[in-house]
Amino acid sequence: MEKCDLKEYSNIRVAKDNKGYYETDGLVISRLFIDHYNVFPNVFTLCESYEIKKNRFKKSYFTLESTLEAFEKNNIKFSVRSVNCMDCNGNLSDRHYAIFLDDFPCIISVDETSRSYDRDGEYYTTYVYDVYYKTYDDNVKKVVNLIWKNSFHVEDIEISKQINFVTTTNGGYTLISKEIKLNNVDVQRNYNDDFEKVDKITNDFIDGDDSGLIIFNGEPGTGKSYYIKNLINTHNKQFVFVTQDIANQMACPEFINFLMTLEDSVLILEDCENIVSSRNQGNNSSAISNILNICDGILSDVLNIKIIVTFNTDLKNVDSALLRKGRLKYQYTFDKLSLEKTKALLKELYGDDYDVSDVKPMTLAEIYNLESNGSNSNSKKKIGFA
């Protein structure tokens, strides 16, 4: 194949317009993604550290060319749009590209971040690739690893799963993606025997086509967040973390517009006692009615959004409207491990020499963090989002 010519791909240019596709810091790909696919994207950043650059850049590289060539060789159909960024004197300061993949929801933002010389006096160009995608599936894995191999000359990598946090920006809402550590939970050893049924119901619910609500309650450290991390890592869904402050704004017109871009997502409302407490107890939060509309109203039919709510309070303090059949798919109260399970997990983690004769039922947090509890164990295992 002849060497590809970027000019061939860059003939479509995105100018600054009323949709705000282009700002001073480059392409706003999330807005392009929403307009193109009508869903808010996840994003994963690929960039080079100096350690990689100093060992490789012995001549000028234009890494985007090799990536596009690799896409062509692997029959990945794409189109490219580009923007030249000018400084106040009208000189070229940066160049940005947006690669649209035709066969699945994915846009790759390529930022030419610097053009300078390394310590050996050799000229190089550095790129940052931001991969915007809907779900982390085999297509996205293939694209990411092609970029690594052909632009950065690095072997295959595995992308850590991500959770998105809702935040406000310029009077609206957006998502910030953060990686979370892999967390494959052995349900049988980490939870009581009755939890296997809960695990199946929860997984079927997330993979299903219906909106609805799942409630997880129980004292701190019993494994609620630990289990949610496992759900994030085992499902190709977009998981969105909603703080209490944002949840109280869910009835705002701007937030409803934002929800339209989160179709088929899973919203996580963690430690939200103040939000779900009964309105009969003086709770003036509008979050309850918002949750009900998303789970069992017109919005539920349109958006297919699932909600998982966790809290530490007793179930009797929760607003009864959230517990009605139909919108509530399942409720489970997490508890300490049974004595038998506690002893078995301690022996598995810390060896048969660990004395369990005086052990009582313990929470997962107590078991996995014995070192911080004053134990002589050298374990450094952690659970939960922390």
Read off the pLDDT of residues 146-158 as tens digits, 9 standing for 90 and up.
887 777 666 666 6
Q: Is the dihedral of CA 281, 283, 288, 290 positive or negative?
A: positive
Q: What is the mean pLDDT of the chain?
A: 75
Q: Is 305 helix (H, G, I), strand (E, B) or coil?
A: coil
Percent of the chain with pLDDT over 70: 70
Answer CATH for 178-334 from 3.90.79.10, 3.40.50.300, 3.30.470.20, 3.40.50.9100: 3.40.50.300
pLDDT reading at 366 higher than 80: yes
The tokens describing 256, both together, are 């409803």
Cα separation, 120 vs 142, in Å, equals 34
Q: pLDDT tier at 10 (50, 70, 90 boundaries)? A: very low
Q: pLDDT tier at 238 (50, 70, 90 boundaries)? A: confident
Would you give the distance in Å from CA 367 to the centre of its chain?
Answer: 28
Instruction: Tokens 């950065």: give the residue.
Output: 152
Domain boundaries, the chain: 6-159, 178-334, 339-373
Read off the pLDDT of residues 173-198 as tens digits, 9 standing for 90 and up.
888 877 777 667 888 899 999 999 99
The tokens describing 78, both together, are 């794409």
* Burial zone of 352 (CB within 10 Å; 0-12 exposed, 13-18 middle, 19+ buried): exposed
Read off the pLDDT of residues 372-384 as tens digits, 9 standing for 90 and up.
555 544 444 555 5
In 3D, which of 134, 138, 298, 306 has the Cα closest to residue 208? 306
Read off the pLDDT of residues 11-53 as tens digits, 9 standing for 90 and up.
333 333 334 444 434 457 777 888 888 888 888 777 655 444 4
| Residues 6+ away with beta carbon under 8 Å from 365 | 220, 221, 222, 223, 383, 384
In 3D, which of 79, 81, 85, 80 has the Cα closest to residue 26? 85
Read off the pLDDT of residues 74-122 as tens digits, 9 standing for 90 and up.
999 998 877 666 556 666 556 678 888 989 999 988 876 555 555 555 5
**Would the pTM of this model clear 0.75, i.e. be above it?**
no
Cα separation, 168 vs 250, in Å, equals 12
Read off the pLDDT of residues 315-351 as tens digits, 9 standing for 90 and up.
777 777 777 777 788 999 999 999 999 999 999 888 8
